Amino acid sequence: MHEAIRCTTVINAPGLRLEAAEFCSESCILATTSDGTLLSLKPDARAAPGSPWQVLNAVKSFSRKTITCLRYLRVHGYILTQADDGVGLFQLASLEGVGLNSSPSLKLIPKTKNPACFCVNKQETLLCVCTKKKLLIFQWFEGEFTELQEFPISETIKRVEWCGEYIIVAQKKEYQLFNLSSGAYTEVIPTGKSTQSPKILQLPYNELLLLKDNVGVFVGLDGKLTRKFGVSWSEQPAHMQVISPYAIAVLKNLIEVRSLHRESSHAVVQTISLKNVSFCSSSSHSGKGNLLLGSQSSIHMLSCVPLLEQIQQLGKSGEFEEALRLCDSMSDEDHVWRITKSGLHQRYGWALFARKMYTEAIRQFSLSSKSPRHVLRLYPSLLPEAARVAVQSLPKLVVLKDCRYPDRSEVSDVPAFKALLPYLLQQRRKILEFCKEKRDSNRRSSFGVLENNDGLIEDAVEEGWGGIDLIQLVDTGLLHCFLVLEDWDQMLKFLQEKNNVDIAEAEQVLQKKGHYIELILLYRQLERHHEALGMLKSLVIRPDTFQVPPHESTINNLKGTNASIEYLLYLDDQHEDLVLEHSKWIVQYDPQGAFRIFTYRYPSLSSEKVLEHLKDYAPGLRIKYLEFLISKEGGDLKGLQDKLIILLLDEVVSRLGADGRAGGEGQDAKEEVAGYRERLQSLLATSEGFSPEWLLSQLPEGHMLEERALLLRRLGKHREALGIYIHGLGSEDLALRYCEGVYQSAAGGNGKLLSGDGGGPGAGGLSQSPGDGDLNVYLDLMRILLESGEGEGRMGRILDLMTERCDRIDLVQVLGILPEATPLYELIEYLKASFSHSLQERKKMSILKSLTKQEALQVRSELINHQKQSVVVHPESVCKFCYKRVQNSVFVVDKDDGRLIHFVCHRRKEQQKGGGGGGGGGLGEGK
């Protein structure tokens, strides 16, 4: 318990027979006696505060009946009285002029004789008076209350109070809510078993307190309960009033003070020894102000001790929860209030921390405006070495003198670090947001301001922390927490982002735990790439060299060379040499992974450097890399194709045995060589920059015949090439495909084909300049077939070929090479086909000639029509767009409406549309 309410004596005069009293102001209290005398009291200006008051005026026979209740109307400056002859009203200011021959006038309100109780609403505009048989409503108007409504009642009302737009009344058995509009009653709660008078009190924030036996029940303006628990008194009180945030109950021998807070309403805040209290003032003005208690011979005044003073009392006694509740009940939050509340949260946190209630302790620290340094001080094992030494030299907090600080090496202290982690994450976010807003400010002073964001707390740097910034302390503490709690995922995420961890502390603790991947991420964030990549290399090829074996999280995230590859892909363009240097060992262990490095970093990583690098350290990747470069179609395409052809040729030649077959064991080796040859043949057929003569000299004699034939075709030596297909490879089909390709290429280049299927197999895209030799390639094939041997089957095949390809073989030349002994009847089919083809070609040429002539006539007609058109330009003719005269300027005729447009204006409009040319008609010049 603490002193929440102070009790002082206003007057003590035996024999006065006091009946009622009301506090009007700091300098005026009114009281009445049983003989109808009205007393006006004021404090003695010469006496010390808390001394008894003096009687300023005494108006005898003020009322014919004994006044049992006084109610001061602050808004109007009037006093309401209650006596058996009715409810009266007089002006407070009239007491100031009281003399020997004058007295204040008490005016009774009509129809209020024998009142049981009365009440006034908060605005003091409405008055409710309850008599034995009536409930009367009066309205304030021009210095008096005039009757507004009248309701009959069947049962005497013992207490009444305004409840918003309603009235709540207390009868013998229950409290009821009375609707003035409908005259209906609604039951609220029973009054209880006691026969004593019920009590109704208005509370701040639209609540009322109803007395049921010895319990105060909270209800709202709608008559419904607002709290699960009420205010429980030690016994049923004779009187009950409110001085916010406390409820005051007058018991038989003492005054009991209890809190109105829901959480502590069951607790006694204070007791005051005071006996024989027979009356109390009608209200403390909604819980604000002073309360008067009196007996027949004395009056005592209860006033609330200033809340800050109460809070200090509670803090000293360790009742932090109640102190914080009082802080929350204060409406005038100021500088001192913030200091007090912040200090309470911190001291409460210390007390909870000493009892090892870490979660709640950290919650209190987070509600304080104190620096996170004050919390980290309780966790010295999380601090960098310099800060740890500095903190350990500080005097230990008195409240924690017998408390052992949590140690990260103790398993039993894990709950302490689990509670701390969310707090540090929250503080880190606040610091980073603050630094972002104050980016132009000095770093150290920025953190100082953050710690003093309310202007309340001194900068903890002055206490000695090894000169380490706050953000560095927080980040280092976070790293330790992740390690203690084994939260590997969150630690990895934290180290991948920009952080301010103390590097020396991090290196020591991470290496000690075997968290090498995490340390590598920290190095990367600090741009210590050489150290990071060196450690990655050691983890892959020499893991046994580490004093502490790699932790499971490191092994899981290493994934062979993948971590090194990802690291090299992360580096920016300025680390080109570093990428090449550390890719040397990767190509030995993972060639495909190394290839991913070079292709991902294209084109920022110089392709010339990469090719030179691959030549020394990974020759087998050069072919694949060149193919990648060619697919990008950038740079010197011909040069790249030449290099690729040479590399493919070298690779194939080196793998062929003496018999021209792929060396090595297994089907895979053969398929690989076949793949190389297929790509080489494709390049020989499409590339244009290589030297066919030189490549022919590099081919092994008697081997790689397909490649040799392609090179001979490039040189225009079709007969030799066809000889390879017929004699070397023994394939007439390949020879025919070769001929078709050459002929289609030559005929298309010379423009001699009007129609056809296009290039067949073997067309290949060769782009040498076509000549007559290319068009006569089928004659070369005929000669080779005729030279290869005679026989009925061979000759029949030659004649069939002549018939099938009659459109590609010259009739005169082919007849000249046929053997003289060839029977004429065998040539009949060929001659029919040849003549038929010639006739078709002649018809086509005739049709084409007619169409061309018709088109020429049509174009000439259009020309004549355009030449007939004319445009008349007057001196007054203006441009459609700029409205300036055309005169001698170049102009365009709008094809839509025939209006003139300056050519410059026309071009500007077309450019604005994003296109040009359309929309204009003829072009002319003004005359």
* For the chain, domain boundaries: 5-96+104-224+276-303, 376-437+467-526
How much is the pLDDT for 100?
Answer: 45
Rounded CA separation 500/474 (Å): 9
- In 122-194, DSSP assigns E strands to 126-130, 134-141, 144-152, 159-163, 166-170, 174-178, 185-190
How much is the pLDDT for 401?
Answer: 84
- In sign, the C-alpha dihedral spanning 169, 170, 173, 175 is positive
Length of the chain: 927
Torsion of CA 309, 313, 316, 322, to 10 degrees: -100
With cut-offs at 50, 70 and 90, classify the pLDDT of residue 661: low
| Segment holding 142, helix H or strand E | none
Given the structure tokens 């018991």, which residue do they identify? 251
- Write down the architecture of domain 5-96+104-224+276-303 according to CATH: 7 Propeller (2.130)
| Segment holding 268, helix H or strand E | strand 268-273
Helix (H/G/I), strand (E/B), else coil: 690: coil
Reference 217, options 243, 252, 192, 184; nearest CA is 192
CA distances to 127, 175, 196, 604 from 209, in Å? 20, 11, 17, 79
Give the strand order in the sheet containing 200-203.
Answer: 200-203, 207-212, 215-220, 231-232
pLDDT, one tens digit per residue, over 671-698 is 888 898 999 998 888 888 788 999 998 8
- The DSSP bridge pattern shows strands 117-120 and 107-108 to be unpaired
Query: In sequence order, what are the beta bridge partners of 231?
Result: 216
| pLDDT, mean of residues 774-797 | 82
| pLDDT, mean of residues 25-29 | 90
Rounded CA separation 232/234 (Å): 7
Q: Which residues are CB-contacts of 444 (< 8 A; sequence separation ≥ 6)?
A: 461, 469
Q: Quick check: 710 and 733 in contact, CB under 8 A?
A: no
DSSP 724: I
Helix (H/G/I), strand (E/B), else coil: 463: helix
DSSP string, 95-137: GGG--SS--PPPEEPTT-SS-SEEEE-TTS-EEEEE-SSEEEE
Rounded CA separation 762/744 (Å): 10
| pLDDT, mean of residues 690-717 | 90
Helix (H/G/I), strand (E/B), else coil: 330: coil
Reference 327, options 316, 315, 318, 317; nearest CA is 315
What 449-452 contacts at long range (C-beta under 8 Å, 24+ apart), as own/partner pairs, is 450/371, 451/370, 451/371, 451/373
Reference 176, options 187, 184, 165, 167; nearest CA is 187
Given the structure tokens 């003492």, which residue do they identify? 254
With cut-offs at 50, 70 and 90, classify the pLDDT of residue 265: low
| pLDDT, mean of residues 868-886 | 88
How much is the pLDDT for 2?
Answer: 85
Rounded CA separation 778/596 (Å): 48
Helices (H), 199-319: 307-316
245 upstream amide cis, omega within 30 of 0: yes
With cut-offs at 50, 70 and 90, classify the pLDDT of residue 439: low
Rounded CA separation 238/233 (Å): 11
The model's pTM is 0.67
Average pLDDT, the chain: 86
With cut-offs at 50, 70 and 90, classify the pLDDT of residue 789: low
Rounded CA separation 785/630 (Å): 40
pLDDT, one tens digit per residue, over 581-633 is 999 999 999 999 999 999 998 888 888 999 999 999 999 899 999 989 988 86
Torsion of CA 834, 836, 840, 845, to 10 degrees: 50
Q: Quick check: 173 and 185 in contact, CB under 8 A?
A: no
Hey, how many other C-beta atoms are within 10 angstroms of the C-beta on 126? 19
In one-letter notation, the amino acid at residue 733 is D
| Segment holding 198, helix H or strand E | none
The residue that leads in pLDDT, 633 or 18, is 18
DSSP 357: -
